[in-house]
Amino acid sequence: MKTGSLRARVIVTTLALLAIVLAAVVTAVTLAYRARLDGDLRSRLTNAGSAVERAGSAPSAKRLLPGLALEGIATRFAAPPGTGPTKTSSTIQTHGSLLTLDEVLPDRTRVVFSASRGSIDHAVTNLLLVELLVAAAALALATLLVVRGTRTALRPLSAVIETATRIAHGDSKLRLEPSRTDTELGSLAAAFDRMVDALERAIEDARASDAATRRFLADASHELRTPVAALQASVETLLREQPERPERDRLEAAVARDSERLGRLVNDLLGLARLEAHPARALVDLATIARPLVEDAHARAPHASITLSADDDTTVRGDPDALERVLRNLIDNALAVIQPTGRIDVHLQRRNGYVQAGVADDGPGVPEHERQRIFERFVRLDPSKPGHGLGLAIARRIAHQHHGDLTCDPTPSGASFTLRLPTGP
């Protein structure tokens, strides 16, 4: 990008164009003035020749000499040699700066008219001097006006520079806020404001992501510490004391239980970390995903009432594995809280450009003040239930990556969760 002075370029270009125009005008006026004076001089010579020719003789023609002299025409009479034909017409001849015209009167007297171009050159020189002085004055005045006008016209760019400098020094809320956006400077100011807004959003997102990462690492280390410590204690007891049965069986069962718990936690943490990558995009029918999940729930809770209702078209664009994980988590959570003969309703609806997947149960429900908190990482309303409090956090994160949302809705009894996904790309 060339970064020369815009103000200097505008001033130099404008003055150069003005100088070219002035030069063209001066040249045209000077040439036209010289041509007119030359034409007038030639016309006077021609008129003088015609007047003398009408006089017819030398004595009559001599009475015209004072008037011709006043017009700057010199006249000379001479008798032509011999007795040649009478010359009745003539052509103006040029000899340097002198114009001459020969006429032969009927009485054979030769009359030579001459006029100098010196007066024309002097008049043209004076005109040219005046034109140059006027052009120089006009160019000087134009320079002053162009400099002032350019400074005024480029004042908005100075405002952009000042605003950018203040933003760089920490005043991130400052904006140009142009009054018009249909001009070049208005479009520049609007684009500048949009760029600063985008940068501010990116900074806020980066800060939020950094804070979330720090919180995630702290929570993960805390959650991992407990099963690792329990597993280590059990293994050390087995190795150090070599207890007999049934104490040995109890410790081995604890090792297996803590190992399974640790494996589930690691899997959940890895799943949460993978969400930072962009998920795959494909056409996904949520009803096709939900049916095997509902059948699996029937097998796990044969006495419960588990229903599935779906509209004809429940297609969205997204990652099928990630969306299956969301629905599986919602159904698993419902299975964990209902009674053996409880009820789970899964319904899929297409509304206003979105597909809504709802999972409702008749369990104890979620208190109103906990409906947002349950989507935070490592939050468990019932610590006695299995899990680590990552399932709903992962599910909502998947929904957000698909430009949708996952909410816990108010309901008179039980719990109701709704996954809302756009149908478009």
| Domain edges within the chain | 6-151, 171-274, 281-422
Structure tokens at 280: 């795959």
Q: 36-40, 264-268, 355-359, 362-366: which has the highest mean pLDDT?
A: 355-359
Among 140-144, 261-265, 307-311, 402-406, where is mean pLDDT lowest?
261-265
Bridge partners for 415 per DSSP: 361
* pLDDT confidence band for 382 (50 / 70 / 90): low
- For the segment(s) 281-422, the CATH number from 3.40.30.10, 3.50.40.10, 3.30.470.10, 3.30.565.10 is 3.30.565.10
User: Are 295 and 332 contacting, i.e. CB atoms less than 8 angstroms apart?
Assistant: no
The answer on pLDDT for 209 being more than 80 is no
Taking alpha carbons only, the member of 351, 346, 275, 340 closest to residue 313 is 351
Beta strands in 238-337 (DSSP E): 282-285, 305-310, 315-318
Interval 55-86: pLDDT, tens? 766 677 677 777 777 777 888 777 665 555 55
Q: What is the pLDDT of residue 285?
A: 92
**What one-character DSSP code corresponds to residue 308?**
E
Q: Taking the CB of residue 353, how many other CB atoms lie within 10 A of it?
A: 8
Fold of the domain built from segment(s) 171-274: Helix Hairpins (1.10.287)
Q: What is the pLDDT of residue 207?
A: 81
